[in-house]
Structure 1
């Protein structure tokens, strides 16, 4: 269910997407509100689930995670009946940053990050390939990153 957002809400969200560390006073000043109404809007956006959480984004390469792999997963016929079991297994792997259910020729798309290709190979053979129900894994290694953002396009 979507939430109705006015121009102030959208400006507040745009600022928070770029820098969640801004104080309520800084946000209020930039959007043209006083601090109290701005704080109430932020609290409402949190209560309504528009703002899920505020986090610090890390540069994966600076902390030694140089390899990014996109894995397309096809489950066998029996595996399809256990989509929930597969999803739970993916939630347990810290290397899997994203897991999406797809329509089409494959069932899932994973975004996996590891230190290097050897670490991905270990992850593949020691963890991913042991998950029950997997028929096929197509691993696609990303050579470079052109665009990566967490900012959603606001109207």
Structure 2
């Protein structure tokens, strides 16, 4: 990974719909070497996918919550079942195993409080869930859609 590769990744994170020719012009390469570098970055999984960032408001998402989840046991089968159930819940947009007083931190979105209440009912039906604590996001103060490139 060199300076040009990092520049390619930085530009694509901001403007993923650029053609190879436009990308090449933006980073100062001719199209063929740019295409080769882009292909290599994809093959080496530096680029995992291409996607659009959808407006939460236009998608009907009015509320965001951070949910701390504690499990009542840490047996492998329970953890796998819990994580599989989370992956099926469309309201959960991010989930992390964390250290500290709880086991998971989830980012959950909903159209309204009723939608969130329905989500918590589904979560409480999971037999491995011991306890949940919810934090309502009042306002987003940082909204980065790009990652820093450290390598």
Q: Where on the TM-score scale, by shorter chain, does this alignment land: which range?
A: over 0.9
Q: Counterpart of 2:43? A: 47
Moved over 4 A (4+): none
Q: Counterpart of 2:10? A: 14
Q: Counterpart of 1:26? A: 22
Determine the C-alpha separation between the residues in 2 that align with 1:88 and 1:74. Answer: 16
Measured against aligned partners, the alpha-carbon deviations of 1:39-89 in whole angstroms (never above 9, x if no partner) come to: 11111111111100000110111221101010000111x2x1121211111
Q: Residue 61 of structure 1: which of 54, 57, 63 is its match?
A: 57
Q: CA deviation at 1:150?
A: 2.3
Runs of 5+ in structure 2 lacking a partner?
Answer: none
Runs of 5+ in structure 1 lacking a partner?
Answer: none
Residue 132 (str. 1) matches residue 131 (str. 2): no
Residue 149 (str. 1) matches residue 138 (str. 2): no
Measured against aligned partners, the alpha-carbon deviations of 1:88-135 in whole angstroms (never above 9, x if no partner) come to: 11000111001100111110000001101111011111x111112111
